[in-house]
Amino acid sequence: MSGENLIMSSVNGVSSIRPEIALNGLANGLKSNGINGHHEHTNGVDHKHANGHKHATVDPRNYDDIIRLAEVIRNMVDLKESPTIGVICGSGLGDLADLLVDKQVVPYTKIPGFPQTSVVGHKGNLVFGYLSGKYVMCLQGRFHPYEHDMDLVLCTMPVRIMHHLGVKTMIVSNAAGGINHKFNYGDLMIIKDHVFMPGLVGFSPLVGLNDPRFGARFVSVHDAYDKQLRNMARRIADEEDIRAHEGIYVMSGGPQYESPAEVKLYKVLGADALGMSTCHEVTVARQCGIRVFGFSLITNIGNDDADTSVEVSHEEVLETAKEASVRACRFVSRIVENL
């Protein structure tokens, strides 16, 4: 895709290029004063885009900034309707966004104040379009805390933007290492619950002053992964003959893979698969009342024996994800069809 084509339609070709709206939109207000105006320390981030231009400051902690940025995005595309379904694509799982019909693609590099992706397999596009007849908004590339100095608020900004644009249900996917002995390469795991390791030690996107407009100060995550959606997904996996388990995902901070002793620790904790994402996004989604369905693609098997040399690599993760991509896309399409 050409970097010049800000907004593309797969059906009609390039529809329009409107970067000036984005920049004017920012000039009109993305100078934050913090929560309700009395939070002086904004933590704003001056983002430089690929073209070297510096954009206005966006403070991911400031509610008004988020709303304005969401409106800037809305003005960059010609939304067919409100997207009620949001999808976050995991490593190597971005092909789904390419399947959208009547799609419009906004590269993150063109969105003022938006973080950028740096992990291979995360393209860095916001994609709007139809999937199984439903209008969806897809993050083709996510923000891992380890890429962004553990700034979890910044990494979850897109979830709050999704919410403002109308998303009611979020489907979140990831590539993960299997630690349940029943799991095999290429299996899917429907996430039943999670262990948010960074969150347990204070790296939560909800840490800091809470603007009540974002949602509650104290968020219950006892039912984070919607049971009805999980049941529906299990039925679909059966119908489609897709090997899918249900299990617990643990998020570690990364970016180093886990040592054998850490893999053992996570097993003892009761986890079934491990990765470096998802929990922060789900936490914010629950704060704003978005229903969540999550699944992992098992791309490698965690090794808990220090005397056995098993090297994990991101290349291996991407390779397995590629092989399973068609299956994963079918799975998500069927879920969306049933929403």
What is the rounded CA–CA span in Å between residue 291 and residue 219? 14
**How far apart are CB 71 and ligand R1P at their closest, in Å?**
28
Please say if 39 is a catalytic residue: no
Contact predicate 247/273, CB 8 Å: yes
ω into 212 cis (within 30 of 0): no
Say which of 9, 62, 91, 174 is annotated catalytic: 91
Please say if 266 is a catalytic residue: no
CA 116 → CA 113, 278, 326, distances in Å? 9, 17, 26
Please say if 324 is a catalytic residue: no
Please report whether residue 252 would count as binding ligand R1P according to CB under 6 A: no
What is the rounded CA–CA span in Å between residue 152 and residue 158? 11
Please say if 49 is a catalytic residue: no
Using the rule CB under 6 A, give the single segment among 162-170, 215-223, 274-282, 325-333 that binds ligand R1P: 274-282
Longest dimension (CA), the chain: 60
Please say if 197 is a catalytic residue: no
- What is the DSSP annotation of 43-87? --B-PBPTTSPBPPPB-TT-HHHHHHHHHHHHHHS--SS---EEE
By CB under 6 A, what part of segment 158-217 binds ligand HPA? 175-177
Residue 177 binding result from ligand HPA, ligand R1P, none, given CB thresholds of 5 to 8 Å by partner type: ligand HPA
Among positions 70, 244, 276, 288, the unique one binding ligand R1P when judged by CB under 6 A:
276
What is the rounded CA–CA span in Å between residue 172 and residue 131? 15
By CB under 6 A, what part of segment 276-305 binds ligand HPA? 276, 299-300, 302
Nearer to ligand R1P, 59 or 272 (CB): 272
**Contact string (CB under 6 A) for ligand R1P, positions 201-240, x = contact:** ----------------------------------------
**Residue entry with tokens 């940025």:** 69
- DSSP-derived secondary structure letter, 119: S
By CB under 6 A, what part of segment 33-72 binds ligand R1P? none
Rg, C-alpha atoms of the chain = 19
Among positions 59, 64, 193, 258, the unique one binding ligand HPA when judged by CB under 6 A:
258
What is the rounded CA–CA span in Å between residue 329 and residue 169? 17
Degrees, nearest 5: CA angle 83-86-88:
150
**Contact string (CB under 6 A) for ligand R1P, positions 170-189, x = contact:** ----xx--------------
**Close Cβ partners of 39 (under 8 Å, ≥ 6 residues apart):** 33, 61, 62, 209
CA 298 → CA 58, 222, 264, distances in Å? 36, 24, 17
Residue 302 binding result from ligand HPA, ligand R1P, none, given CB thresholds of 5 to 8 Å by partner type: ligand HPA
**How far apart are CB 122 and ligand HPA at their closest, in Å?**
12
Residue 26 binding result from ligand HPA, ligand R1P, none, given CB thresholds of 5 to 8 Å by partner type: none
By CB under 6 A, what part of segment 105-134 binds ligand R1P? 119
**Residues at the interface with ligand HPA (CB under 6 A):** 175-177, 257-258, 274-276, 299-300, 302, 312, 317
Active site residues: 91, 122, 144, 146-147, 175, 276-277, 300, 314
**Residues at the interface with ligand R1P (CB under 6 A):** 90-91, 119, 142, 144, 174-175, 254, 275-277, 314, 317
